[in-house]
Amino acid sequence: MSPTRLSRLEAPTRIVLQFNDAFNRHDVAGMMDLMTEDCIFENTNPAPDGTVYVGRDSVTQFWQDFFLQSPNAHIEIEEIFGIAFRCIMRWKYNWVDARGKRGHVRGADIYKIRNGLICEKYSYVKG
């Protein structure tokens, strides 16, 4: 396989790694720079189906509100792989609540990449 073709196959993983780095910095602008205008984000809450946010404005507002409510949010990647236009990431989400108690949940995200940007992010939680 040529280096160029291999680079294209690995691109979704690199984009998702950049997105996760921006998430861990709580850099909403950096996250949104990696998403399409018509992006779709399906959150894990409320169970069992979550909430769907469509479009850059809606998704941006979600992340801004999320980081205000969870100022210690951090995603630890447990496994990540991608090929062509898909990437799957298994993660552990860590937080500290208002009383100072640490908590975490584990889950997975399924990403779809279009033209070098995330167009879909579907999140799932164990539990």
pLDDT, tens digit, for every residue of 38-68? 999 999 999 899 999 999 999 999 999 999 9
Per-residue model confidence as pLDDT tens digits over 96-117: 988 999 999 999 999 999 999 9
- Higher pLDDT: 70 or 4? It is 70
CA 58-52-124 angle, 5° bins = 125
pLDDT at position 4, please? Answer: 57
Label residue 83 by pLDDT band (50, 70, 90).
Answer: confident
The CA-based diameter of the chain, rounded to the nearest angstrom, is: 53
Q: pLDDT over 70 for what percent of the chain?
A: 93
Calpha distance 85→8 (Å, rounded): 9
Q: List the structure tokens of 127.
A: 């539990």
First to last CA, the chain: 41
Q: How confident is the model at residue 7 (pLDDT cuts 50, 70, 90)?
A: low
Reference 45, options 18, 25, 31, 65; nearest CA is: 65
**Domains and their CATH numbers in the chain:** 3-125 (3.10.450.50)
